[in-house]
A = this chain, B = another copy of it.
Amino acid sequence: MPAAVRAARRIVVPRRHAFDEPLLLQSGARLVDYELAYETYGTLNADRSNAVLVCHALNASHHVAGLHILDDGTEDAGWWDNMVGPGKPVDTDRFFVLGVNNPGSCFGSTGPSTIDPATGRPYGASFPVVTVEDWVDAQARLADVLGIERFAAVMGGSLGGMQALAWSTRYPERVAHCVSIASTAKLSAQNIAFNDVARQAILTDPDFRGGDFQAVGVVPRNGLRVARMIGHITYLSDDDMAEKFGRTLKADDLAFGYGAEFEIESYLRYQGDKFSAYFDANSYLLITKALDYFDPAAAFDGSLTRALAAATASFLIVSFTTDWRFAPERSREVVKALLDNRHPVTYAEIDAPHGHDAFLLDDARYHRLVAAYFDRIHVAIVAARAAA
């Protein structure tokens, strides 16, 4: 497809960068000879001041916006295409947006399903545990390669919002704005509990084979399926589920068996089946573990205020009223810690029915808010350029 046609249709070609120097991980392990897959949207301006990094959550990737071509030749839209693009809240006519697949994931960057050059076989269980901070370090190295010294904004939702928060203190001089949506500064015991049950479903699936299933040509699909179903329940609000599915049956009468009988069963099983067909089980384990471990306050005797002291960015924190995975209360803890530090912060609690998933949906008030925030960033960039 000619480049002009690709551009007109917003078809994005992912790129990869191979890193020679090992990445030292928080665990003490080293990631050697790794690659990062990424996509960019829009144009980096002359003074490189309009770059926005979008960090992805559990099952997403560097395919943030536009269309990308799947292995089977079909096209698929980026996971945040309603947020990022020409004329959208994060307007790629003004901003240069970068999406990076995190190492340990399974969409192109080095992860457990990648062939380990040292053995010629997939890393599998030998792939090291990575943390939110490790991802941020990897993203910073890619920014170096792309010549981006300082991001106009680092943003993300859920686990992506944790990465944005981590950027604000790990590389304070490199982040002008930190946008953390439907996120939290640490998982609760209940959050960890849900993650651990999901992991146990995978770890005890006989086809998991201690993590080296790929080498023997099997996939722990049953475990992954159950893991995803559990996760999915926590992404939706109770009310939204009641509204969408209620107690509606697929047939007129009760079946007195274990088929998918209620609509909600059918929906969840479908989500589980779909997920287990494309997601890597080891990646699921790694990424949920990164979620569990994230706790910037831990190094400061539990004080989130002290943990966020080093930040110099301005913050936009957004939560959704019916999100019970990372409830507004958790965002308010972050806002409180930012205010304690007198950091500039805008906080919005969006009244939305869709639970945690709301951060991915096209809600007018939510999108207007983000658009207004990014307009302000753009005006500041233009003003800085005029003053220079």
Contacts and interface: CB of A to CB of B under 8 A. Distances in A.
A143 interface: no
Q: Is the interface of A mostly helix, strand, loop or mixed?
A: helix
A189 B241 contact: yes
Interface in A8-30: 27, 29
Contact of A225 (B204, B245, B246, B295): B204
Interface string A249-268: 00000101110001011001
A116 interface: no
Contact of A226 (B187, B193, B201, B285): B201
A384 to B, nearest CB: 41
Nearest to A261: B292
Contact of A129 (B194, B229, B257): B257
B295 A233 contact: no
A383 B196 CA distance: 56
B222 A204 contact: yes
Interface residues of A, number: 51
A244 to B, nearest CB: 8
Contact of A193 (B29, B196, B268, B289): B268
A279 interface: no
Contacts of A233: 190, 193-194, 197
A171 interface: no
B200 A269 contact: yes
